[in-house]
Amino acid sequence: MRTGLLLLLLALVRTGLAQDPNFSQFYNNPVYYNPSMTAINNGIAIRLNARSLWGPIPGRFNTYSFSAEAQTMYKMGLGIMAYSDVGGEALLRTAGGYVNYSYRPVDTKNFILQAGVSGGFVTKNIDWSKLTFSDQLDETMGKFKESSFNRPGYNHVSYADFSAGLVMRFNGSARKQRSSFKRFNATLGAGVHHLSQPKDAFLADSEKLPLKLVFHAQANLLFNEFIVSPGSVFEMQNAFRTFSIGSNFVSQPFIIGVWFRNRTAAMNIKQYDSFIFTLGLNMKSKYEATWRVTYNFDMTISRLKTSSYGSHELSLLFEIPNKVLFSKNVNSKNMRRRYQCPKELSGF
């Protein structure tokens, strides 16, 4: 099993077509998927995510991300995002850091149109000494000789990386005052990543990193005492496809959710991948700040289910809604404050 995984990693490095890491919940890491989501909730937000993929399989496949964002004057949003991905017992390490910028050409009480861009730098490292090749193996003796593979004299690549996106958000309230349904917001967006299509592999004949497209839709429906948050995300990068759909349910302070991930948007039984279960706490503190902690378990139902035993993801969010940086130095007409995120729906 270990040898097979190492050969698979080498194949991905050689072709340069490995897909980006993904996360269980788009809600918990929106700027990773779409830079136009930067400061979408009109406030300050800090997010941490840690994901462990297929723990029982030899080799570590762990991904970590951090993001911080804030709305500022002149209808702008600013943010930073960083991630680290480790695959196969530290054989392949990827780290990236980005600066995000968003702007609202349309900013009204019930509708916003927001565009965003992201630019950053990515580095990759590989430890050639830990790779095992087929010509090193013998059916009876196992690994017993050196490989004829001519290893490159370098184990590090780096490149600039750029992304862009567009998002629309709608905000509304119930028409009937006595209805249990109170208000909602709905978001539709798309992002495109790796605009410069850099070469990110270690061999000279490697292909360019393919574009990644992300389409997402989600809503938050506020009733008397709980919130329903349905959503869906579709990711497409070269031959890689994944489609997630489901919903979270919030009854303060508890969060539960059930999601389903498929390898195509068409619900073909041969493409089923996993069910995703979410448990968490959504807590309010002083000054209207929100803390949210969630745990996600991906229950694999594909052919990997007998060996992978699923994946685990932990997320932490801290948010202060409707907070504007540098607001004391500008005229109120230039503020990014017309579209108020409902306090009850902050953090989603």
Q: Is the dihedral of CA 257, 192, 36, 161 positive or negative?
A: positive
CA–CA distances in Å: residue 104 to residues 74, 92, 179, 261, 337: 9, 39, 33, 32, 11
pTM across the whole model: 0.82
pLDDT higher at 187 or 11:
187
pLDDT beyond 90 at 293 = yes
What is d(CA 260, CA 145) in angstroms, rounded to the nearest whole number?
Answer: 45
- Full set of structural domains in the chain with CATH: 2-345 (2.40.160.40)
Please report which confidence band the pLDDT of residue 8 belongs to, taking 50, 70 and 90 as the band edges.
Answer: very low
Average pLDDT on 38-51 reads: 92
**What confidence tens digit (pLDDT) does each residue in 109-139 have?**
889 999 999 999 999 888 776 666 666 666 6
Mean pLDDT of 148-167: 82
Mean pLDDT of 223-245: 89
8 A C-beta contact, residue 307 and residue 56? yes
Amino acid 89 reads E
Q: How many CB atoms lie within 10 A of CB 187?
A: 22
The whole-number average pLDDT for the span 217-222 is 93
Band of residue 77 on the pLDDT scale cut at 50, 70, 90: very high
Residue 13 above 50 pLDDT?
no
Indicate if the alpha-carbon torsion angle 251, 252, 254, 257 is positive or negative.
positive
